[in-house]
Each structure stands twice: as structure tokens, then as C-alpha cells.
Amino acid sequence: VVATGLRGRIMASIIRLSPPTEEEALSKPHYIYAEALDEPYAALALVEREQARLFEFLPQILDSVRADGATKLDPDILVNAATAVVRQCGEFLTNILDNNSARDVLIDAIELQKRNEIIVNLIAAVRDYVKIVGAGGLISPGSKFGRLLFALGESMHTILSVANEAFLNRDSHDLDLLREFTSDRSAQMERVRRQVMDVEDIGPAEHDMLYASTTLFERTLWLLQRYTALVDAANAAE
């Protein structure tokens, strides 16, 4: 009884003496919350906003291997936090599916689950890119090989930043730009392919890094292309 009456003060003292870590703070969703499940249509809109916010993490994760990266947070913290949020989105969607029978709610929840899975794979692709490129230190445009990796990283960061703006703000110009960047026939991708083919006289380690990083770059673009298609389909259905 005494503890119940003093609960507010006890919790305030605990937070003051042991504040949440940076990772714990970043791992908290901004939009979804348990009580929202009582209103399935509003809950679905909140999941969509939470998913769009997750795109803020991707260019920040990439910053750790960019010479002029603005974000100095540990990429592992960002990856863990983003993974925690996307997992909570998945659990939230499962609750919606388990507790609703309206056809349109189920269809929209399943579509958002598809987006959630793409975000999981995007986080993994950017994480793996950072691990591979980060093994060689910060990339700066020195050698021909260095210039290619530098250009690859800058292109990837630009595209992820455009995706962040496009999905967060639902900006039609940014969505058009993202479609162009992620197109199989995009000038960006063709330029990267030509540059890769033009690199000669590199060692086995550099060759492996180049192959792995360009593969992950293409995978990231493909995943963004799929996500954009799902967003376009949802917008057309409204």
C-alpha cells in the first residue's frame, strides 16, 4: 500500500539514478501504443507513420563509414534500436490481425506486414554494408578503388536520405526522385556498374570488398524499389 502511494516518486528516483541508455531511448516507438489497438483504422495509420520514421535510421547507420558523416552514434546502437522498433511494429500488426475481422483492416495490416519485412531487410543490408566497408576504415577519394567506394557510399547515403524524406513527408517530388534512383535502368546504377568494370589491378581483399559492397548497394536499391511500389499501391487504393 505504501509503495503504491509512493509509486510516482519511486519511479522518478529510479529514472534519475539509472536513466535509460541511448539505445533504450532510441528503441521506443514514437507513434504506436497499446491503447491504439482499440481503434484498428487509427492503429494502422500509426504503424505506417512509425515505419516511415524508421527510414531516419538508415542514413545515420551509414554515416559511420563516411568521412563527413553527420551522425556520430555507434552504428550497432542504431541497428539495435531500429530492429527493436520494427519488431514492435510487427507485434503491433499481429495484434491487429488477431483481434479484427474486417476485411479492409486485414488487407491493410497484411500490406503493412510486407513493408515491415522489407524494412527488416533494409536494416540488415545497410548494417552489412557498414561492416564490410568499415573493415577498411573511413573511405576517402584517394586511389581509383577508394574513389569508387567513396562514390558508392555517397550515392547510397543520398538515396537513403531521399527515401527518408519521401516516406516521412509523403512528398511527391521525393517519391518521383526515389523511383528514378531505384530504377533498374537508372543512370546512377549504370554509372556504378561502369566504374566497377573499369577498376583493375586490385588485390583479393579489395576485390571481395568491392563485390560485396556493390551487391549490397544493388540489394538496397531493389528493396527500396519494392517498398516504394507498396506505398504507390496503397496511395492508389485510397
Residues 77, 22 contacting (CB under 8 angstroms): yes
Q: Which three cell numbers stand for residue 180?
A: 528514378
Burial of 186 (0-12, 13-18, 19+ CB in 10 A): middle
> How high is the pLDDT of residue 178?
92
Q: Which three cell numbers stand for residue 170?
A: 509523403
Residues 81, 23 contacting (CB under 8 angstroms): yes
d(CA 26, CA 22): 6
d(CA 191, CA 28): 39
Residues 108, 233 contacting (CB under 8 angstroms): no
C-alpha neighbours within 13 Å on the C-beta side of residue 56 = 14
d(CA 88, CA 50): 10
> How high is the pLDDT of residue 183?
82
Burial of 203 (0-12, 13-18, 19+ CB in 10 A): exposed
d(CA 52, CA 164): 7
Q: What angle do CA 7, 10, 13 make, to 5 degrees?
A: 150
DSSP category for residue 19: P
Instruction: Spell out the per-residue pLDDT of the chain, length 238, in tens.
Output: 556 665 666 556 655 555 668 889 999 999 999 999 999 999 999 999 999 999 999 999 999 888 776 777 899 999 999 999 999 999 999 999 999 989 999 999 999 999 999 999 999 999 999 998 877 655 555 667 777 788 888 889 999 999 999 999 888 899 999 998 888 655 666 666 566 656 666 677 777 888 888 889 989 999 999 999 999 998 887 7
Q: What angle do CA 151, 157, 162 make, to 5 degrees?
A: 125
Is the dihedral angle over the CA atoms 94, 95, 98, 99 positive or is it negative?
negative
User: What would you measure as the largest C-alpha separation in the chain, in angstroms?
Assistant: 76
Residues 96, 109 contacting (CB under 8 angstroms): yes
